[in-house]
Chain A
């Protein structure tokens, strides 16, 4: 009887052990992710300024937020940046992958060259491009020295164009990675179908348009989700490249949130802007993750 209970205890412990080991991570995630989200949402309904305070003010922060001109600029910038960034990265990534898949000599050399920017910090990328784009010393100056006197490229100093310089640097950083995703997709396509299509006399263009590109659907989806997520979170690159300037011409929600929360002492408004960012990402990620997890079952 005594041994029975000890065996019983041991098996019960064994059954509990996995849950016990998982528990700390689960607790951390629950508190540091979901607890914090709830806390920030709560703060977004309070009159917090420099420090969190707990006087509820209802939707006031949100209505203020949408009346602030800088938030308008930030949202517009994010829309411009995200759409250009996603489209250009996808197009370049797909073209590079298709071309690289044509039995190219030197693929082993080219692929790492296309990819290495992904290993760099956005701060490093920003430092490099900031200087490269600086009209006094970068590309514009070089063109002048080479004799092309009328060459002009001062987007980074131009309120209306500065946001596009961020697109250039961001595309430089991630398009190679998108290429790798498409390349993996291309290499996974069943060659039998392609051979059959070739037999039927399909042209290259037809093969890609009708057979290969439709089969890359999962790669497109993954690329889209990742690029969206990177675009909405982008903070480092903007800080390093333009610092949000000139003026606040390149402000994005991420820089807006930071400056309102930590430097302008408008924590309530900062919190509400963070909530909007979370909602935007959740709208994209939740359905995607839900579909992924269901499929795996």
Chain B
């Protein structure tokens, strides 16, 4: 066998190479097809869908399904479209992400630079909280939201997402700050800098990358959540995912597939946009979620 190739890629014959490309392209098709079909069918009149081929391009292009999904489709009992629910999701995601990120940054800073007895244990407790099945907290959470008088509201959902987001945001910032030179912190401390000064002046300015990762992770997770939304905020305060599910599974009338697809794409757009804009960070964020990459 010939040696001396510089890289560690396989030295492959032509046939193998063709096979690899075909394999990768087939999978690319597999991943793209469902989304392609959703897009194509969201701009077809309903008749073309029920009587026709789902892969074919529309004969008549129409944006009617999109308009309907956005502002007139029947969600539950009201023909409001998805618009109000879209705003519900925004109103839920933005505060939850901001609060969670700030708390995570502070926690990460404390758990790496101000270590004390039992800090690893505390971190362990927080870390495990990321992985519990949320079914275990549904019943008491419903009670607490009732007692606080915020059940069925967006603020209630914000609280829920903040509480169960702290574990992940702390994890990200802790792992990131762990690599940050502690000598810098010690030096500043000797110069008389206090707890918050060190955080603002030394750690925060270099936290950009991890903040992006954390925001992306929280944003996609909270936006995509269904269980909490369905449990604690059905009706008018429901987030987008719950409204979409109601739209698609409503049993009354004709199944307007094109409207369903337009709605599904709307629900997917914010996270897709985040993914396209910050894709590389997105991967890194997901990887960090695996504790060790």
Contacts and interface: CB of A to CB of B under 8 A. Distances in A.
B89 to A, nearest CB: 10
Interface residues on chain B, size class: 35 or more
B61 interface: no
Interface in A6-55: 14, 17-19, 21-22, 24-26, 28-30, 32-37, 39-40, 43, 52
B272 interface: yes
Interface string A253-297: 110011001100001001101110110011001101110110011
Interface stretch (B74-82, B206-214, B223-231): B223-231
Given A181-B287, A292-B291, A141 B30 contact: no
B67 interface: no
B133 A270 contact: no
Given A120-B268, A138-B54, A201-B1, A172 B30 contact: yes
Interface in A184-200: 184-185, 188-189, 191, 194-195, 198-199
A139 B201 CA distance: 58
Nearest to B103: A25
Interface string B127-159: 111011111111111011000000000000000
A100 B3 contact: no
Given A204-B11, A275-B136, A293-B127, A123 B241 contact: yes
Nearest to A116: B275
B244 interface: yes
Interface in B93-122: 103, 106-107, 110-111, 114, 116, 120, 122
Given A22-B122, A222-B290, A236-B241, A142 B140 contact: no
A176 B287 contact: no
Contacts of A185: 293
Given A124-B267, A293-B120, A239 B226 contact: yes
A187 B126 CA distance: 31
A236 B124 contact: no
A40 B133 contact: no
B283 interface: yes
Interface in B26-44: 27-28, 30-32, 34-35, 37-38
B251 to A, nearest CB: 11
Interface in A69-105: 92, 95-96, 99-104
B267 A285 contact: no
A184 B293 contact: yes
Interface in B153-195: 163-164, 166-167, 170, 178, 194-195
Contacts of B281: none
B200 interface: no
A115 B289 contact: no
> Nearest 3 pairs between A and B by C-beta?
A121-B224, A18-B114, A119-B275
A229 interface: yes
Interface of A: 14, 17-19, 21-22, 24-26, 28-30, 32-37, 39-40, 43, 52, 92, 95-96, 99-104, 110, 112-125, 127-132, 137-139, 141-142, 145-146, 172, 176-177, 180-181, 184-185, 188-189, 191, 194-195, 198-199, 201, 203-204, 207, 218-219, 222-223, 225-226, 229, 232-233, 235-236, 239-240, 243, 253-254, 257-258, 261-262, 267, 270-271, 273-275, 277-278, 281-282, 285-286, 288-290, 292-293, 296-297
A142 B226 contact: no
B90 interface: no
Contact of B195 (A18, A112, A116, A177): A18
A161 B37 CA distance: 24
A130 B257 CA distance: 11
Nearest to B199: A21
Interface of B: 1, 3, 5, 7-12, 17, 20-21, 23-24, 27-28, 30-32, 34-35, 37-38, 49-50, 52-55, 103, 106-107, 110-111, 114, 116, 120, 122-129, 131-141, 143-144, 163-164, 166-167, 170, 178, 194-196, 220, 223-224, 226-227, 230-231, 241, 244-245, 248-249, 257, 260-261, 264-265, 267-268, 271-272, 274-276, 279, 282-283, 286-287, 289-293
A116 B127 contact: no
A120 B241 contact: no
A274 B231 CA distance: 15
